């Protein structure tokens, strides 16, 4: 499913080994999550933007759509944090009984930039590999087999459950159902959720029986050969330079 986010090919990143991508993504995400200075956060955003530009993701509308969907929760941060600090002399605006503080705005901005930088880097790096490649790479790095099986099955059957939900929803609409804030609507929605759960359990039993008939013993066989190439080294060097840029922004007060 990940390859459908931005396309099957993202420039040079499509040729980088999936193991290298996963290791780099973890390091890059952790680094951006722990930095505290404004310069370091801005440097992280610039680094993720540079990765997206080099991979050619900036010209794909699906990239911006996915980035917006992932970071939509930031709206709640901006609705809460700016009003959650009461430091003397830091108030900027008064909206009725609520006060917007400078510290609240700064923290909201820092969290937003970190989230955008991390998700941008994750979208670019992960979307340049197929799901099979990512699962095989995670397995070779020591990820538990049960986790890999869960990811594969979840990715495959999310669309199936979504199709069942749309089928039941259309059936209700054909029969004249319109969602309202009343007892009948709540009861109908509850029945819809219960029926969806029952259909999911029945399909899971059929899938399990089909897998056992085909000899499934808790292991998915994925044919993928990992080969480190010169391009992987260049990608690692690029990430090292970007990490160094972030660290310089984090330690600039100590360096000056």
Residue 79 sits in the same domain as residue 148: no
**Does residue 43 register a pLDDT over 70?**
yes
Residue 45 sits in the same domain as residue 158: no
**Does residue 103 register a pLDDT over 90?**
no
Closest among 138, 125, 128, 203 to 164, alpha carbons compared: 203
Residue 237 lies in a domain: yes
> CA torsion 130→131→136→140, rounded to 10°?
100
**Does residue 90 register a pLDDT over 70?**
no
Residue 95 lies in a domain: yes
Residue 204 sits in the same domain as residue 235: no
Q: What percent of the chain has pLDDT over 90?
A: 18
**Does residue 60 register a pLDDT over 70?**
yes
Q: Which residues contact 250 (CB under 8 A, 6 or more apart)?
A: 35, 36, 37, 39, 40
Residue 218 lies in a domain: no
Closest among 210, 204, 208, 175 to 192, alpha carbons compared: 175
99 close to 91: Cβ distance less than 8 angstroms: yes
The listed range with the strongest mean pLDDT (28-42, 148-162, 228-242) is: 28-42
pLDDT given for residue 29 in this prediction: 92
Residue 88 pLDDT grade (very low, low, confident, very high; cuts 50, 70, 90): low
Residue 173 sits in the same domain as residue 57: no
Q: Which residues contact 188 (CB under 8 A, 6 or more apart)?
A: 172, 177
What predicted TM-score, i.e. pTM, was given to this entire model?
0.75
Into how many domains does the chain fold?
A: 2
Higher-pLDDT residue of 2, 80: 80
Directed axis angle between helix 102-126 and helix 18-34, to 10°? Answer: 180
Residue 147 sits in the same domain as residue 112: no
Residue 221 lies in a domain: no
Task: Supply the range of the domain harboring residue 189.
Answer: 142-213
**Does residue 118 register a pLDDT over 80?**
yes
CA angle 243, 244, 246 (to 5 degrees): 65
Residue 83 pLDDT grade (very low, low, confident, very high; cuts 50, 70, 90): confident
Residue 159 lies in a domain: yes
Residue 247 sits in the same domain as residue 184: no
**Does residue 136 register a pLDDT over 70?**
yes
DSSP string, 192-212: HHHHHHHHHHHHHHHHHHHHH
Task: Pick the range with the lowest mean pLDDT from 91-95, 122-126, 177-181.
Answer: 91-95
Write a three-state SS string for 77-128.
HHHHHHHCCCCCCCEEEEECCEEEEHHHHHHHHHHHHHHHHHHHHHHHHHCC
Residue 67 sits in the same domain as residue 188: no
pLDDT given for residue 28 in this prediction: 92
**Pair type for strands 98-101 and 91-95:** antiparallel
- pLDDT per residue over 159-213, tens digit each? 888 888 999 999 988 988 888 888 888 999 999 999 999 988 998 899 889 888 8
Residue 220 lies in a domain: no
Residue 92 lies in a domain: yes
């Amino acid at each position: 499913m990940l390859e459908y986010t931005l396309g099957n090919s993202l420039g040079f990143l499509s040729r980088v080994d999936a193991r290298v991508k996963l290791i780099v993504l973890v390091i890059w995400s952790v680094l951006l999550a722990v930095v505290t200075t404004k310069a370091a956060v801005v440097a992280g955003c610039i680094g993720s933007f540079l990765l997206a530009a080099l991979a050619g993701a900036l010209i794909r509308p699906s990239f911006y759509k996915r980035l917006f969907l992932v970071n939509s929760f930031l709206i709640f941060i901006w609705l809460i944090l700016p009003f959650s600090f009461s430091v003397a002399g830091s108030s900027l605006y008064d909206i009725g009984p609520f006060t917007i503080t400078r510290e609240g705005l700064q923290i909201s901005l820092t969290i937003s930039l970190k989230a955008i930088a991390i998700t941008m880097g994750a979208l670019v790096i992960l979307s340049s590999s197929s799901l099979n490649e990512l699962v095989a790479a995670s397995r070779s790095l020591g990820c538990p087999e049960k986790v890999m099986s869960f990811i594969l099955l979840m990715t495959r059957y999310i669309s199936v459950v979504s199709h069942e939900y749309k089928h039941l929803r259309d059936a209700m609409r054909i029969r004249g159902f319109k969602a309202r804030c009343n007892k009948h609507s709540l009861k109908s929605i509850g029945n819809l959720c219960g029926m969806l759960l029952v259909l999911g359990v029945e399909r899971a039993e059929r899938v399990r029986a089909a897998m056992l008939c085909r000899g499934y013993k808790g292991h998915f066989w994925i044919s993928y050969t990992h080969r480190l190439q010169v391009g992987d080294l260049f990608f690692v060097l690029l990430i090292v330079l970007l990490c160094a840029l972030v660290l310089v922004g984090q330690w600039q007060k100590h360096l000056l």
